[in-house]
Amino acid sequence: MIRPLSICLALLASAATGQDLSLPTNARQISERVSPLDSYELPVGVYAEDAVPARTVEGRVERTTWRLQSGSSTTLQILAPLRDQLEAQGYDILFECEARACGGFDFRFGTEVVPTPDMYVAIQDFRFLSASRGENVLSLLVSRNPPDGFVQLIRVAPVAATSPPPLVVETAIDDPSEVLQVLQRDGHVILDDLHFSTGEVALGPGPFASLALLAGYLTDNPDVRLALVGHTDDTGDLQANTAVSTRRAQSVRTRLIEAHRISGDRIEAQGVGYLAPLTSNATPEGRDLNRRVEAVLLVN
């Protein structure tokens, strides 16, 4: 059985939030990652129509995991006292579900999970909860791998009003010909006029100069093919990020086919998740740079 809730572990920096979440005395914090400014896709519904309904929230994001000795306790027995504490602190429960009702495998891989071994999720034995209190939102994910239980907390708090607003700069192509020069010289080029936020897969309406240039190059060089490779930051696990990066590359491929009339057999799309970063993911600016699509030259 779970021991009485007698030890307090910080939900976030208590000085800033004035809140604590009490976990069992045998709970041990496994990981903690703090992003001073980031975004999080907060699940608010069960998996349906090929997606997990989510609400995009921005602010200070903290991702924390714990491992505890669960014994014969169910995931509900682990989650229930934590839920009670949240409600006592004034949180409103936005959404709650159990493994199969959530959507099982599809829900698990459609939402953000701290990578193993820091977090373990059994596909048929987990529970999820999202909640809000004013501008503060959070999610709890609990699962078991007997005799251990696992708890993941992702919480987003508003950034202090005195903090400067986030600045996102999308690199413009000052000399469009450089795209083709780099592609021919290096065999690959970053399509840096495309931009993806964390978890975002859809390509905007454009027009995008890089895609027009690639389309013209393909038209003028019928023996050339392209591979579009999607990349992400390191938010979430590898499988989810690989899926997101693949869908990003596919969205670019679709645009070349539909808007620029390029034959689909001349363009392939793949994703590698966070395995090939340009720079460190420790800052919002670094993560923004790592979310990208590259074109790789393939010559028959």
| Under-50 pLDDT residues of the chain | 1-19, 161-174
Q: Are 266 and 217 in contact (CB under 8 A)?
A: no
d(CA 250, CA 265): 13
Q: How far apart are CA 184 and CA 189, in angstroms?
A: 9
Rg (CA), the chain: 22
- The pLDDT, as a whole number, for residue 270 is 94
Asked, colleague to colleague, whether 7-157 and 177-299 share their fold, the answer is no
Structure tokens at 258: 């539909």
Q: What's the whole-model pTM score?
A: 0.52
Give the contacts of 13 (CB within 8 A, at least 6 positions apart): none
> Per CATH, the architecture of 7-157 is what?
3-Layer(aba) Sandwich (3.40)
pLDDT recorded at residue 175: 55
Predicted confidence at residue 197, as pLDDT, reads 55
**pLDDT at residue 12 in the model:** 32
According to the model, what pLDDT value does residue 171 have? Answer: 40
Q: What per-residue confidence (pLDDT) applies to 195? A: 66
Alpha helices in 73-227 (DSSP H): 75-88, 99-102, 104-108, 177-186, 209-220
Q: Distances in Å between the alpha carbon of 273 and those of 234, 283, 296? A: 8, 18, 16
| Residue 272: per-residue pLDDT | 92
Given this model, what pLDDT does residue 167 score?
36
pLDDT, residue 232, reads 87
What pLDDT score was predicted for residue 59? 93
Q: Does 177-299 carry CATH code 3.30.1330.60?
A: yes
Reduce the DSSP state of residue 221 to 3 states and report it.
coil
Q: Give the start-to-end residue ranges of the domains of the chain.
A: 7-157, 177-299
> Tokens 């709650």 correspond to what residue?
96
Q: pLDDT tens, 128-156?
A: 999 999 999 999 999 999 889 999 999 99
